[in-house]
Every structure is written in structure tokens, then in C-alpha cells.
Amino acid sequence: MSTADTPESAPVPALDPRGDIVDLAAAIVDVESVSGNESALADAVERALRAHAGHLTVQRDGDTVIARTDLGRPQRVLLAGHLDTVPVARNLPSRREERDGAEVLWGRGTVDMKGGVAVFLQLAVLAEDPPVDLTWVFYDHEEVAAADNSLTRIAREAPQHLMADFAILGEPTSAGVEAGCKGTMKLDVTARGKAAHSARDWVGDNAIHKLAPVLHRLADYEARIAVIDGLQYRECLNAVLADGGVAGNVIPDRARLTVNYRFAPDTTPAQAEAHVRELLEGCDVEIEVTDSAAGALPGLDTAPARAFLAALGDGVRIDAKQGWTDVARFSALGIPAVNYGPGDPLLCHTDDEHLRVDELRDAVATLGRWLGLEA
């Protein structure tokens, strides 16, 4: 039995991609789709595409929906948006309200990234004669471990579905362009000591104290700013978690820091690891990489990217993406990619997540012009 059929689930509304974009976004937001529970929304997206878009070939891969045009155009652009959200925090169903003189759509997923999904779904239906062939990917499990992300599976098992000359990821960027992304790495830095009674510390060896040189080096670290294609990527190296000790009267024999390194996309994960090890050389610690993902170069000099930027106009804001996003997955396949979507990224995952309606409408109009639709 699917999630949509369970008694606890609300009926899934029929999505109308040809209607008002705000109504469409609200309907998508109101289908709860916390990671692992995307089936109902994937069903709704699939039904909408099959019902409203005869110019598309639609297929389902798990809870990922892929739609393609095959018009024989010389270039193909892929547009991808994830269906899942982080857990709900009493912020569903959605509602419209006024904020500082602007109308907003409030609720979980409005920014990250169901507003972008609504934009892509509407344009997938309306763009019947685009200047390039298009692939639309609505995918699951983005907000959880990389191994669970459906793009990971598809890139491994069916990479032909993701092949394109250029890719646009609908992550929130306040309708600006954020190019590429930084890489990320997590490392466990562990110190070993010898347990003893805290009243007789001279017979022990305090593992927590051994982490002091590590913390000093991290606190004094001057991060690199890498300039790539005129964009500044600010690296970050920080201790983000600390644990150690067993009781208030025991000298700890083990202590651990979790370190997160956000490195510029001109650096490989191997180079990033070597840099951290060099920084901590001489500290009495063990270092283990527990997770890593490469970044993505901007790729703004490709012909499809230049055409996309030209359609957005001279006033569009272009920045470096300071976080990590799935553009890195496309970069690994040799596909240049950018982030572009409605919504303030600072509101992602917040309890007060909300999206300005004017940004939503502007994103549809702007991308519509690029795809040859009337403004």
C-alpha cells in the first residue's frame, strides 16, 4: 500500500500546472513529503505531467519523475528539483500572509524547494517548443545522506537519464544565479589518553587536553578565498562537534572533535584531506575522513550557460555558491551546472520558512522568456 493510500494520509490534490503559480506552489507544499515519504507527491507530479504535457516523455524511477522533450535540438538542458523536505515543525498546511508589505507563501518546503519545483513543473507543461531540448527531473531523498539521494543511484545505474549540455538546479537563490558549489568534508580528530581518578590526575593522561593544540590551530586558521571565473569561494574550516569523557571524576582516555572543511571547487577531496593533515601535523591525534563530496566549478563559459544568463538579463545577480548542492553531481558527470530558484536560502529549514510571491512569479516569467514563452 502506498503512502497516499494509508488512512492517515490526506487525499493528494490534483496539481494544475496551467493554473496560477502560487496556487500550484501551495498545493505542492501541502503534500507533506519529508525525506522517505515522497511517494504521494511523486504520484501527483507524475499524473500532472502525463495529463498536461503531450510533448513530453514521462517515466518514473522509484520516487523520481523524469520528463523529456525529444525535438532534435542541438543542445539539451536539464532542470532538477527535489521533492523532499526536512521534518515538519508545525508549519503545514501552507498559508498566504503579508510580510513587510509583500505577499508571502508560508510553510515547510516553500523555499527548499517546492517553490522551485512548482516553477519547473509549470514550465515543463507550458514549454512545448523550447530553443533547446529539455530534461526535467523531480527527485527524492535530497535532504538526507548522499547515498540515499536518488541522483546518486541514477547517476550510477542509468546515467543516460542525466546527460545534458548544461544543468539548472532549482535550489533557492532569491532568483539570482549561484554558480558551482564548494566541496565538503567531515573528519574525526581523535585524541587518546589514559583514564584515572580525577583526584590523582598524575597517573592519567587527559585526552581532552590533547585536543587543545588542534583547537588553537583551527581558531587561528586563515581560510583561503579562491577566485574562480571572477567568483569568490570562501573556504571554511571549523570544529563543529566535540565529545569525550565518561564522568565528572574521571580523567578521559578518549576525546574527539568533528571537523568540517568547506573547500573551493578547484580543490579535490584528496587535496582537502592532505591540507587538513598538514595543518594538524605534530598534534597527538588520529584523523579519519568520515564523509566527503567534491565541489563543482562554475561552468559559466559554456554556450548553454551563456544563453541562459543572457536571457536572465544584465541585472541578474551572479554569485559563487558557498554551500554544497547537487550541482556537484552534474559536475562529476562533466555537466556544468548552476543553482537558480525563488526563495531566500537563509530561510531554508527554518520554522518560519516562507517565500515571497513576487519572487515565485518572477522566476516563472524569467525562465519562461528563456524558453521562448511570453513574459
Nearest to 265 by CA among 293, 290, 239: 293
16 annotated active-site: no
Distances in Å between the alpha carbon of 114 and those of 27, 160, 172, 346? 10, 26, 10, 15
Q: Examine residue 93 and say whether the peptide bond preceding it is cis (omega within 30 degrees of 0).
A: yes
30, 133, 140, 142: the catalytic one is 142
* Cis amide leading into 113 (omega within 30): yes
DSSP 201: G
User: To which residue does cell 569523557 refer?
Assistant: 245
Tell me how far apart the alpha carbons of residues 321 and 339 are, in angstroms, rounded to a whole number. Answer: 8
Could you give phi then psi for residue 205, rounded to 5 degrees? -145, 110
Alpha-carbon gap, residue 95 to 85, rounded angstroms? 17
Q: How far are the Cα atoms of 186, 271, 319 from residue 268, in angstroms, in the given order?
A: 14, 5, 21
Q: Which residues contact 69 (CB under 8 A, 6 or more apart)?
A: 55, 56, 57, 127, 130, 133, 134, 135
| Beta pairing partners, 233 | 226
Which grid cell is 253?
582516555
Q: For cell 510533448, what's the residue?
A: 55
Annotation marks residue 30 as catalytic: no
Question: CA angle, corner 300, sides to 129 and 225, nearest 5?
Answer: 150
Catalytic residue among 84, 112, 165, 253: 84
Catalytic residue numbers read 84, 142
